[in-house]
Structure 1
Amino acid sequence: MIDQKFLKSFSPTTKQPIGPCAFCQEGHLYINEAEFHFGEDLSSETYRDKVTDPDNDEGFGWDPDYYTGHFAGLLLCNKCKNKTSISGETRLVLTVDKDSEDYNQAYHIEHCTIKSISPTLKLITFPKSPKFNWTLQTILIKSFDLFWIDNAACANKIRTSIEILLTDLGIPKIDSSGKKLNLHTRIEEFKKINTPIGELLLTLKILGNVGSHSNTVIDREDLLSAFEVLEYVLIELFEPKSSKIQDLSDKIRKKYK
């Protein structure tokens, strides 16, 4: 799972990495200052000037929460030097630092929230097993794209990935009479084989249903939790640690029998 510190807002002047490189998967992405731009929206600036104008009888002051802005630019991988395009929204965040006399000094600085990044960041680690097919990978990558811009659509793509996963695991899509089986029924069939993992898939299906058929707001934290559960499911199904541990145990016993 990607370090969640990369998924939070960041200062446009930060020297810290914004995220891992999706191209080489070894380096980290840093702001390329010469190709990174940010600033306040014209509408926000105009409104601020209006409400702070001393000659404006309707002026009632300005609050940092009224600020809106945008950013766009390129990130540079420190390993392969590949460039990643990024854009999103900026807002003002209250920051408190100590001054030279150890007193608290409060001020507001701009922070960036990602809305688009290409190539997209891989939010979870894929199993390396050849049984983990390309179709499932493609759907998950689409869900990573949607994570930044549409939470409900992202949850829906997670639901779609479960449908594909069950097909890969041999769970039929139709019954003996030719009737199409819904996702819940297919998960119940899988639970006969692996109850713990089946219960986790049921949880992901519930979130996916909310994204597909409900007006309930899904936040990023819920999506990140879902991705973490999904990553665990995939590892357990395609690269189970229990089988690896058993292989190591058998190897030791065989060697020192």
Structure 2
Amino acid sequence: MDLNIWTKRYFDENSKIEWPCPSCNTSSLNLIKEKLHHEETASSKKFRSENEDWEIEWIQLVFNGQLTCKNCGEVVFFTGTGNPEHTGYYDQVLDEYNDQYTNFFTPTFFQPLIKLFNIPDKCSEELLMEIENSFKLFWCDLPSCANKIRISLEILMNEQGVKKFEIRGGKRVPISLHKRIENYNHSEIKDLLLAIKWIGNTGSHIGDIETIDILEAYRLLEFSLNKIYNDEIKELKKITKEINKRKGTRKRE
């Protein structure tokens, strides 16, 4: 997962789009300039008319647009917000200052969704959907995105067979996610999952969370899922155990 791609959430009409295609996963998305439409919001117009000291950078825009993949032909529609920023520069050749503004846009929704990392094929449909729901929220609601990531850990623990309840005082009591992760028998990634949980807690309960926090959680989650579902050593150990148990070749389906 390349964090640099995702830390830059904005673009202008001349930007090179680096987000991966939802279908072929290549960085081949191309912005269709003639289909990028934007308008100033009503509240922005009202504020402009009521303030004498108004400046152009205060304009608030909404936009919709289209991306097309040059590799597979996938079409992606997206929407979001924007505003003009001063991009003037001094031309040393002409010895003059060029005063100009450029509209920059920040997406809030993609259809089909943009995947921030590749989820292993062996993940269950439930876990896949929860992580993909977090991808949708990454663009518009970081605290809710963090909460979805935390929920994905609950699902992961369920699927890994980690106990959800314990008997305490004769009653069936839920086990906290923190304790469930500590009880998980995959020692190599236990600390990684706890770190993801803390980020999820911050988003869920405090709400003070930044883009880089979510990206770090995704980076840890991507590594953890690959260790669980794509770990070649784990697969080889399983094969070895089955052969030794049967004292011969493995049973095939």
1:110-137: CA deviation from partner (whole Å, max 9, x where unpaired):
1000111111110111124x3x222111
For the pair 1:218 / 2:209, whether they are aligned, the reply is yes
Counterpart of 1:89 in structure 2: which amino acid? T
Name the SS of the counterpart of 1:113 in structure 2: strand
Identity level (%): 28
What TM-score, normalized by structure 1, do the two folds share? 0.79
Match of 1:34, SS?
helix
Q: Give the letter for the 1:79 counterpart.
A: N
In structure 1, C-alpha distance between the alignment counterparts of 2:157 and 2:101, rounded to whole Å: 49
1:9 maps to what in 2?
10
Structure 1 residues 81 and 106: alpha-carbon distance in aligned structure 2, compared to 1, 3 A threshold = same
What corresponds to 2:118 in structure 1?
125
Contact 2:18 2:27 in 1 (8 A): no
Q: Return the letter of the residue paired with 1:34.
A: E
State the superposition RMSD in angstroms.
2.8
Go from structure 1 to structure 2 and tell me whether the alpha carbon gap of 1:243 and 1:194 turns closer, same or farther (over 3 Å shift): closer
Partner of 1:110: 103
In the alignment, what sits opposite 1:55? Answer: none
> SS of the residue aligned with 1:205?
helix
* 1:92 corresponding residue in structure 2: 84
Gap regions ≥5 residues in structure 1: 52-58, 247-257
1:106 and 1:242 map into 2 onto residues whose CA distance is: 60
Contact 2:57 2:86 in 1 (8 A): no
Give CA-to-partner distance per residue, 1:177-200, whole Å, 9 cap, x none: 64321101101101xx33341111
Q: Which residue of 1 aligns with 2:174?
A: 180
Output the amino acid matched with 2:217: A
1:143 and 2:134 correspond: yes
Distance 2:4 2:188 in 1: 26
Compute the displacement of 1:176 (Å).
Answer: 5.3
- Does residue 234 of structure 1 match 2:232? no
For structure 2, which runs of at least 5 residues remain unmatched after alignment?
238-253
Partner amino acid for 1:19?
A: W
Could you tell me which residue of structure 1 aligns to residue 247 of structure 2? none
Amino acid at match of 1:112: F
Give the conservation status (yes or no) of the 8 Å contact 1:9–1:114. Answer: yes
234-243 or 61-70: bigger deviation: 234-243
Letter in 2 for 1:156: N
1:19 aligned counterpart, secondary structure = coil
Q: Deviations over 1:123-175 (max 9, x none)?
A: 111124x3x22211111001101111211111111001101111222211122
For 1:46-97, what per-residue CA distance to the aligned partner results, in whole angstroms no more than 9, with x for missing partners? 533554xxxxxxx2x2224422111112221212222211000001233354
- Contact persistence 2:39–2:61 (CA under 8 A): yes
Structure 1 pair 173–245 and aligned structure 2 pair: CA distance change class (3 A): closer
In the alignment, residue 110 of structure 1 is paired with which amino acid? N
Count of matched residue pairs: 232
The answer as to whether partners of 1:136 and 1:164 remain within 8 angstroms in 2 is: yes
User: Aligned partners of 2:137 and 2:202: how far apart in 1?
Assistant: 15
